[in-house]
Amino acid sequence: MPSDKSYTRVDEHGVIRVGQTRVMLDSVIAAFQQGQSAETIQQQYPSLTLEEVYGAITYYLGHQDEVDAYLQRQSDVWEQWRTRAAAQGSPVLRRLRERSLLHASERP
């Protein structure tokens, strides 16, 4: 009996999610590539069923070139965010430094 069940979906930001959860396909595939079993992956992401984990892995294996290209784009996006964050610095550290300078200027 054919199944119309889809184990992946693309969210509003273009991120591939597993089932109806917020778990990214990236996470499941990274664990799979590290040699983790589907059962171990399911334990790490309890919002996923074992069927969804196997479905995500099957999707990856059936669309490996497309998914690898997607994973590379995701990696590029994360690198852009890291670079931007490093250039801006931490807002908390910036405030602490400003307060430190203010206190230092108030000392006699």
* pLDDT per residue rounded down to tens, the chain (108 residues): 556 688 999 999 999 999 999 999 999 999 999 999 999 999 999 999 999 999 999 999 999 999 999 999 999 988 988 888 778 777 787 788 888 877 777 766
Whether residue 92 is contained in a domain is answered as: yes
| Domains held by the chain: number | 1
What pTM was computed for the model? 0.72
Give 14's DSSP letter. S
Domain range for 102 is 8-106
Whether residue 55 is contained in a domain is answered as: yes
Q: What are the start-end ranges of the H helices in 1-108?
A: 25-33, 38-44, 50-62, 64-88, 91-106
Q: What is the CATH number of the domain that holds 22?
A: 1.10.10.10
∠ CA 10-13-19, rounded to 5°: 30
Whether residue 47 is contained in a domain is answered as: yes
Beta carbons of 19 and 25 less than 8 angstroms apart? no
Whether residue 102 is contained in a domain is answered as: yes
Whether residue 99 is contained in a domain is answered as: yes
Whether residue 79 is contained in a domain is answered as: yes
